[in-house]
């Protein structure tokens, strides 16, 4: 069946030039509108899953309760917001932030497509201070690589940026934040600096480890690790194992690879 979906995807992308197709994810009873040109959409459509080891880690280690909250920064088309909603059986409230207007529109359609009303979506970027900044758009082949960091040549658009600490004063429900997921292509340090008080309520963080992007932002990997350690977090490898495998901090500082890291506050 994977071969058939691969052939169907080829037809939609290269012959019909379809603007979108629907990916079925039976394992989590989800369906997503995706772009056939986008790397995440391609994986979801062909393989009916995305980053399965990471999804398995969240399923095994997140003890989601009805009063819990997840914050999804850089929600893209909504995969992780939808996944957490399903894993919690709709009990966990999710706040999803996505600044790109095309991704945000698809995120809204995917929430409606799955009948999910526990996810609140905001067409906002997150940073250290409230501002209007330029979002550097990567292109149709990977809509998840848009960034407030000047990583690549291409189109830029103005987006509204909020500080999570300032925004949460009037807009964030009380209670524990079970998971803060952040994938914003090198801008993580600035977003976390604007969320220092919020971090005290978080149990888990899911962050992309991307030293090259962080260096390009002017912050660097050491600034990210120092901030997280000061906030009481320790890093783990999200590979689906039980128990979680801790990551040596010294090795993490020297690791040039781009990968996901799960942080837990003890």
Residue 259: is its pLDDT beyond 70?
yes
pLDDT band at 148 (very low <50, low <70, confident <90, very high): very high
Mean pLDDT of 115-127: 94
pLDDT band at 232 (very low <50, low <70, confident <90, very high): very high
Structure confidence at residue 66 (pLDDT): 65
pLDDT band at 150 (very low <50, low <70, confident <90, very high): very high
Structure confidence at residue 176 (pLDDT): 81
Structure confidence at residue 260 (pLDDT): 92
Structure confidence at residue 78 (pLDDT): 94
Structure confidence at residue 256 (pLDDT): 93
Mean pLDDT of 1-23: 87
Residue 241: is its pLDDT beyond 90?
no
**32-87, pLDDT tens digit by residue?**
999 999 999 899 988 998 888 888 888 888 877 767 899 999 999 999 999 999 98
Structure confidence at residue 191 (pLDDT): 96
Q: What is the pTM of this model?
A: 0.94
Mean pLDDT of 181-194: 95
Residue with tokens 């932002």, as numbered in its chain = 217
Residue 113: is its pLDDT beyond 90?
yes
The mean pLDDT of the chain is: 91
Residue 109: is its pLDDT beyond 80?
yes
Residue ranges per structural domain of the chain: 1-50, 57-265
Superfamily of domain 57-265: Vaccinia Virus protein VP39 (3.40.50.150)
Residue 125: is its pLDDT beyond 90?
yes
Mean pLDDT of 88-95: 86
pLDDT band at 242 (very low <50, low <70, confident <90, very high): confident
Mean pLDDT of 133-153: 88
């Amino acid at each position: 069946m994977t071969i058939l979906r691969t052939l169907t995807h080829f037809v939609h992308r290269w012959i019909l030039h379809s603007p979108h197709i629907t990916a079925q994810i039976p394992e989590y009873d989800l369906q997503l509108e995706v772009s056939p040109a986008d790397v995440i959409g391609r994986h979801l459509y062909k393989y009916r899953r995305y980053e399965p080891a990471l999804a398995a880690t969240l399923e095994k280690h997140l003890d989601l309760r009805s009063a819990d909250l997840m914050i999804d920064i850089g929600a893209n088309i909504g995969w992780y917001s939808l996944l957490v909603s399903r894993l919690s059986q709709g009990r966990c409230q999710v706040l999803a932030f996505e600044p790109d207007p095309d991704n945000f529109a698809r995120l809204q359609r995917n929430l409606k497509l799955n009948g999910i009303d526990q996810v609140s979506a905001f067409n906002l970027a997150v940073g250290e201070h409230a501002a209007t900044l330029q979002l550097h758009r990567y292109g149709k082949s990977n809509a998840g690589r848009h960034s407030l960091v000047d990583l690549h040549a291409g189109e830029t658009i103005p987006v509204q940026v909020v500080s999570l600490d300032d925004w949460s004063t009037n807009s964030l429900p009380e209670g524990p934040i079970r998971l803060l997921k952040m994938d914003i292509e090198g801008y993580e340090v600035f977003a976390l600096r604007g969320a220092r008080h919020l971090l005290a309520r978080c149990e888990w963080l899911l962050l992309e480890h991307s030293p090259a992007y962080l260096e390009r932002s002017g912050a660097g990997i050491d600034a990210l690790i120092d901030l997280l350690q000061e906030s009481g977090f320790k890093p783990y490898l999200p590979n689906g194992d039980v128990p979680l495998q801790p990551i040596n901090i010294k090795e993490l500082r020297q690791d040039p690879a781009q990968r996901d890291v799960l942080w837990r506050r003890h």
